[in-house]
Amino acid sequence: MTSARTIPFRKMNGLGNEIVVVDLRAGGTPFTEDEAAVIAQAPGSHFDQMMVLHPPRTAGTEAYVLIYNTDGSAAQACGNGTRCIGWLVAENTGKRSFKFETVAGILDVDVATIGRISVDMGTPKFGWADIPLVEAFHDTRAIELQVGPIDAPLIHSPSVVNIGNPHAIFWVDRLDIIDLGKVGPMLEHHRMFPERANISLAHVLGPDAISLATWERGAGLTRACGTAACAAAVCAARKKLCGRSVTVHVPGGALHILWRDDDHIIMTGPAEDEYAGEVRIG
């Protein structure tokens, strides 16, 4: 643990997904995972994800962004958090289009209003080794994984994909078919997923709508997970359950997901700026 210091932050949310933003572009000591977990537990600074802005590493980008989950572990991507930092940069600079670099790659952001922010989430990875899985599956639209009796499982045959983070989508007739708060931790840490995984239940409402509940890797049950919404949308299209333009309904609201013909996923939704604060660590 480094010496004690006070960290200014902004508390935001994307459809109820709690986001803390820390801007270190003007200088500051990077966080350890232990420190990130401490910040998540401090009064007023709880987060599902913390977006830490560092000086840009690549020309043309606004910042290099490191992302932390509630437990302090690193996340490679966070769609709701990217919309939040997009709004802050737009408010501070007056620009409406810009790029952020993350571990998952460079993300393009377009800000119309605080209620309509679009993020190019890149392209999905469907190969079993790219997700990654511990064993080979030729068709990742449905892998062998189930919960419940072997002859009558409650959920089974999830679609898997990497949208910056690993995702497993179980297709269900109703979201309350199983207690995701109980099975989520088991499935997140299942041996099938060597880097753990985000676990979702998805109910297809029609050719352009999906209802979704998500257990988020390193964070737990969440009101919204942007990458999970993207994962459900592209996997539904891949299984021909939906078209390539869908509204994904999550407990916190709705996101629009467009899987373009060039394979890029465009996620559009709101962000909310709650308050500024400080937290002391060390």
CATH number at residue 244: 3.10.310.10
Predicted local distance difference test score (pLDDT) of residue 3:
73
The alpha carbons of the chain give a radius of gyration, in whole angstroms, of 18
**Residue 118 placed within a domain:** yes
What residue has token string 């990742």?
A: 140
Q: Is residue 94 part of a domain?
A: yes
Do 78 and 115 share a domain, yes or no? yes
Question: What's the pLDDT score for residue 43?
Answer: 87
Give the C-alpha separation, 51 to 13, whole Å: 12
Residues 156 and 245 in one domain: yes
Give the chain's count of helices (H) and strands (E). Answer: 4, 19
101 and 163 together in one domain = no
Q: Are residues 258 and 274 in the same domain?
A: no
274 in the same domain as 259? no
Q: Are 250 and 270 within 8 A, CB to CB?
A: no
Q: How many residues are given for the chain?
A: 282
Give the alpha-carbon dihedral of 224, 226, 231, 233, to 10 degrees.
80
**Which position has the token pair 């995701």?**
180
In a domain, 15, yes or no: yes
Q: Are residue 245 and residue 180 in the same domain, yes or no?
A: yes
pLDDT in tens, the chain (282 residues): 457 889 999 999 999 999 999 999 998 888 899 999 999 999 899 999 999 999 999 999 999 999 999 999 999 999 999 999 999 999 999 999 999 999 989 999 999 998 999 999 999 999 999 999 999 999 999 999 999 999 999 999 999 999 999 999 999 999 999 999 999 999 999 999 999 999 999 999 999 999 999 999 999 999 999 999 999 999 999 999 999 999 999 999 999 999 999 999 999 999 999 999 999 887
205 inside domain: yes
Residue 244 token pair: 């390539």
* List of residues 6+ apart from 142 with CB closer than 8 A: 157, 158, 159, 239
Q: What angle do CA 103, 105, 109 make, to 5 degrees?
A: 115
The verdict on residue 127 lying in a domain is no
Say how many domains are in the chain. 2
- Looking at the fold, whether 118 and 181 belong to one and the same domain comes out as no
| 190 shares its domain with 114 | no
In a domain, 141, yes or no: no
The reported pLDDT for the residue numbered 4 is 84
pLDDT recorded at residue 2: 52
The Cα–Cα gap between 137 and 120 comes to 28
Q: Evaluate whether residue 255 is within a structural domain.
A: yes
Domain span at 14: 5-122+270-281
150 and 186 inside one domain: yes
Output helix, strand, coil percentages for the chain, rounded to the nearest 5: 15, 40, 40
Residues labelled catalytic = 78, 225
Residue 204 and residue 176 in one domain: yes
CB distance 50 to 38 below 8 Å: no
